[in-house]
Amino acid sequence: MQFIKKLLTWPRSIYFLLPIIIIGLFWSNLASAAVTVSGIEFIGQATLPKGLYFQKTPVGGLSGITYDAQKDLYYAISDDRSEKAPARFYTLKIDLSKGSLKNGGVVPVGVTTLLNENGDKFPPDTSDTEGIALTSKKTVFISSEGDVRQLINPFIQEFSLSTGKVITTLPIPNKFLPDNNGQHGIRNNLAFESLTITPNDKKLFTATENALIQDGAAAQPNTSTSCRILQYNLLTNQPEKEFLYQTEPISPFLNFTGKFASGLPDLVALDNQGSFLSLERSFTGLGFAIFLFQVSLEGADDIQQIDSLLNVNSQTIKPVQKKLLLDLRTQEVLLDNIEGLTLGPTLPDGQRSLILVSDNNFNSLQRTQILAFKLKIESPLIRLLRRLLPNFNR
């Protein structure tokens, strides 16, 4: 009763200001708060036929994928090094109209050959295209891992969607470039697999799949590796920040072959505030281990000025924040070599879709597998309540 009496004694202007304050908080939270994924639900898969040819090219090696919301189409980059056909990306139609993905729901509808600055096709073994990200300018950025063995540098280039020709080449910082002695730069086939652009088209991000040589060891059984996330400003086309991303240590299972690979093959930006989904992929000796994480740059240290993590006390560096969202081994699906992911369209129930794609390595024992998921995004109202009430929903 005392509290109610005090309320009644407040100036009347307070009763008008309170709703304005609450609405202001809500809208500021809506505009500035990072996207939070509260869950991921598997909604189906499709597999392209083995040995599929489209427009005289073998469809395979799909290592990255990006979504064109205006056309409801996807662009998937092949990592064929112009050996089986010229370097290229495919246009795919993926049917999620009923809120799920069924076999037969993925169809190639186009293929675009990549052309270098001279308007020529990339010669064999001069590129290893792995990541792809769509802009609002009817272009795509594509990343290549290069070839350390031949001292071919990695690249990040912008290509026209209509002609496939290079428009822009982003500068690669020297610390990422391989050297003659094998003591510096990217490791072969463990470089720029990932590529993503923020929704406002202002920032582009890529990451090394494993540590640079001067940053530490590559991933080993039960041992993680130190990847670098590289941030570009697309207003200036210059690199501006780098962040430390630590992969998860993976235990191999029944590894009769002795082969092991683990790393960070892709990222997708969720918002303009530094929130991502990351994909970690490992070959464990018996099948694949695939993990999806929510990643945040908030509070992470910028390591752009550090040329070698081995020359500093890396324990003092704050890496990006990670939260495990899904271990795909818990799903009732036989996993292949998943390497790419992208946000897809809004599903009939209003939730956002997520698409993953596998690289079949042009191997007859593997598949081009497309997995579909539903993202459960926490609403702005719930985020506001969490800000105002720290113990909300605990």
- The mean per-residue pLDDT over the stretch 57-61 comes to 98
Query: Distance between CA 106 and CA 370 in Å, rounded?
Result: 8
Whether the CA torsion 17, 22, 23, 28 is positive or negative: it is: positive
Closest CA relative to residue 356, chosen from 35, 45, 141, 38: 45
pLDDT tens digits, residue range 277-286? 999 999 987 8
**Non-local CB neighbours of 299 within 8 Å, separated by 6+ positions:** 318, 321
- Return the pLDDT at 153: 97
For 174-191, what is each residue's pLDDT tens digit?
999 999 998 999 999 999
| Among candidate residues 64, 112, 60, the one with its CA nearest the CA of residue 90 | 112
Task: Give the pLDDT score at 254.
Answer: 67
Round the average pLDDT of the chain to a whole number and report it.
Answer: 91
* DSSP letters spanning 277-306: EEEEEEE-SSSEEEEEEEEE-TTPPP-TT-
> Positive or negative CA dihedral for 54, 55, 57, 61?
negative
Nearest to 385 by CA among 33, 6, 58, 12: 33
**C-alpha span between 119 and 173 (Å, rounded):** 26
Percent of the chain with pLDDT over 70: 87
Which pairing describes strands 338-346 and 37-47: parallel, antiparallel, or unpaired?
unpaired
388 vs 250 pLDDT, higher one:
250
pLDDT digits (tens, 9 = 90+) for 104-126: 999 999 999 999 999 999 999 99
| Cβ atoms within 10 Å of 318's Cβ, excluding its own | 13
Encode pLDDT of 194-219 as tens digits.
999 999 999 999 999 999 999 999 99
* Pairwise CA distance, residues 394 & 348, whole Å: 30
Residue-level pLDDT at 313:
94
pLDDT for residue 383? 55
Percent of the chain with pLDDT over 90: 82
Split at pLDDT 50, 70, 90, the class of 3 is very low
Using an 8 Å Cβ cutoff, are 179 and 205 in contact? no
- Quote the pLDDT of residue 6: 47
Q: Place 301 in a pLDDT band, splitting at 50, 70 and 90.
A: very high
The tokens of 307 are what?
């040329």
Q: Which two tokens stand for residue 19?
A: 């709703």
pLDDT above 70 (res 20): no
Task: Supply the pLDDT for residue 87.
Answer: 98
- For β-strands 238-246 and 88-94, DSSP reports them as unpaired
For the entire predicted model, the pTM comes to 0.90
Q: What is the pLDDT of residue 387?
A: 56
Q: How many CB atoms lie within 10 A of CB 340?
A: 29
Examine the pLDDT at 21 and tell me if it is beyond 80: no
- Say if residue 8's pLDDT is above 70: no
Question: Which are the contacts of 246, defined by CB distance < 8 A and separation ≥ 6?
Answer: 224, 225, 226, 227, 319, 322
**The pair of three-digit structure tokens given for residue 379, joined into one six-digit string:** 């609403």
**Spatial separation of the C-alpha atoms in residues 254 and 260, rounded to whole Å:** 11
